[in-house]
């Protein structure tokens, strides 16, 4: 059976490496998107064995799963703006820290908490450029007002989310300065900000001076960063070989006959294709001309020097031949000792994995 394997030991290694780099600054593990495709509960369980007890979520269901499965004391932070009364009530039931990014949400949550004779823990979200949720820096006076009027809110944190930490240092530094300006103005009014945080994985790895009181890490824990790091990808698919056969010289494989045998060739057929997420990559949103150029450039590079993907069988890297189909692909296993049922190791990004059960080992 096809399986997506997550290696606990690699996950743990990554966490230890990240902790070393965090130098005591608390890590908030981001487990949104059902744990980046790995399953929120399994991911959180492994992380908690490494001492992590702060988690960021974006779906109420994720909080329910964690609370129902023994994560009683973990701190849970809802990263998304929630402004629906029922959802806010549910978050309070689940003792989730709510992100507040507007006066309306602050006031509604304050009323709801008052009705319940409760105090809602909140982190303020500052919009330094992402432009989706959060108070604008110009609204700092408004925030200070809310501290005074919202008696049932406990302002225990404040954060921003950089929009370009991966490749724009200048912009990230500007946003960092703006964020610190807001924090300083709130403090200058004699108010406490609680936990101040701004780093996602890229900012964490690139700018140690921005770690502040906490960092929010997702991709780095999974070992999937678009630049060189000391981290390792935690997962891969294990696919049992369906068929081993010899295609005679001149025979083709796959749609459109993109591959033709130069000699008699031993070929393994694997029941994995783009439906499962194999060789699927996320298309960048091409709203910038630069991104169009980049994509065109890498297509031309691929045209001039096609790089073939490989899968691992019997410890050997075997080239994928012909076009990858929806559910199958063919692999050149010349000289490799293999038979039906032997396992091939296939690299697939867990975010794209579909129809393959995930197991932690
Ligand atoms: C997803 C997310 C993160 C984590 O991002 P990574 O780049 O995967 O580390 C951090 N903060 C916020 C607000 C997020 O939405």
Q: Is 8-222 CATH 3.20.20.10?
A: yes
**pLDDT confidence of residue 184:** 98
Provide the sign of the torsion angle of the four alpha carbons 106, 109, 115, 117, taken in this order: negative
Q: Is the CB of 21 under 6 A from ligand 1?
A: no
Q: Is the CB of 35 under 6 A from ligand 1?
A: no
**pLDDT confidence of residue 298:** 82
Q: Which atom of ligand 1 is found nearest the CA of 221?
A: 9
- What is the rounded distance in angstroms from the CA atom of residue 209 to the CA atom of residue 8? 30
Q: Which atom of ligand 1 is found nearest the CA of 216?
A: 10
Q: Could you read off the pLDDT of 184-214 as tens digits, one per residue?
A: 999 999 999 999 999 999 999 999 999 999 9
Identify the H or E element spanning 126: strand 120-126
Which residues does the chain have with pLDDT short of 50? none
- At the topology level, CATH places domain 235-360 in Lyase, Ornithine Decarboxylase; Chain A, domain 1 (2.40.37)
Q: Is the CB of 60 under 6 A from ligand 1?
A: no
**pLDDT confidence of residue 292:** 82
Pick left, alpha or beta for residue 135 (phi over 0 → left; psi -120 to 50 → alpha; otherwise beta): beta
Ligand 1 centre to CA of 320 (Å) is: 33
**pLDDT confidence of residue 155:** 98
**pLDDT confidence of residue 283:** 66
**pLDDT confidence of residue 284:** 65
State if pTM tops 0.75.
yes
Ligand 1 centre to CA of 200 (Å) is: 5
Q: Which atom of ligand 1 is found nearest the CA of 219?
A: 8
Q: Is the CB of 121 under 6 A from ligand 1?
A: no
Domain residues of the chain, as ranges?
8-222, 235-360
- What is the rounded distance in angstroms from the CA atom of residue 116 to the CA atom of residue 113? 5
């Amino acid at each position: 059976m096809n399986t997506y394997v997550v290696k606990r030991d690699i996950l743990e290694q990554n966490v230890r490496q990240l902790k070393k780099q965090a130098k005591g600054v608390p890590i908030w593990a981001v487990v949104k998107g059902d744990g980046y495709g790995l399953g929120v509960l399994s991911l959180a369980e492994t992380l908690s064995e490494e001492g992590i007890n702060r988690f960021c979520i974006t779906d109420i269901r994720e909080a329910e799963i964690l609370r129902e499965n023994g994560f009683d004391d973990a701190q849970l932070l809802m990263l998304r703006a929630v402004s629906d009364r029922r959802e806010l009530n549910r978050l309070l039931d689940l003792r989730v820290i709510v992100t507040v990014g507007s006066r309306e949400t602050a006031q509604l949550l304050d009323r709801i908490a008052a009705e319940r004779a409760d105090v809602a823990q909140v982190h303020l979200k500052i919009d330094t450029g992402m432009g989706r949720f959060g108070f604008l820096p110009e609204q700092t006076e408004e925030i200070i007002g809310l501290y005074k009027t919202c008696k049932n809110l406990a302002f225990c944190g404040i954060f921003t989310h950089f929009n370009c930490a991966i490749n724009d240092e200048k912009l990230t530094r500007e946003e960092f300065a703006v964020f610190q300006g807001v924090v300083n103005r709130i403090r200058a009014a004699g108010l406490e900000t609680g936990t101040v945080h701004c780093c996602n994985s890229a900012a964490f790895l690139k700018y140690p001076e921005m770690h502040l009181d906490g960092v929010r890490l997702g991709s780095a824990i999974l070992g999937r960063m678009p630049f060189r790091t000391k981290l390792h990808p935690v997962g891969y698919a294990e696919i049992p070989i369906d068929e081993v056969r010899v295609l005679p010289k001149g025979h083709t494989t796959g749609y459109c006959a993109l591959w033709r045998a130069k000699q008699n060739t031993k070929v393994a057929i694997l029941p994995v294709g783009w439906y499962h997420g194999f060789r699927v990559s996320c298309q960048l949103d091409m709203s910038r001309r630069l991104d169009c150029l980049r994509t065109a450039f890498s297509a031309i590079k691929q045209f001039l020097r096609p790089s073939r993907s490989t899968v691992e069988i019997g410890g050997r890297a075997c080239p994928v031949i012909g076009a990858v189909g929806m559910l199958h692909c063919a692999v050149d296993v010349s000289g490799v000792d293999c038979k039906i049922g032997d396992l091939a190791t296939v690299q697939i990004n867990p975010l794209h994995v579909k129809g393959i059960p995930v197991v932690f080992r």
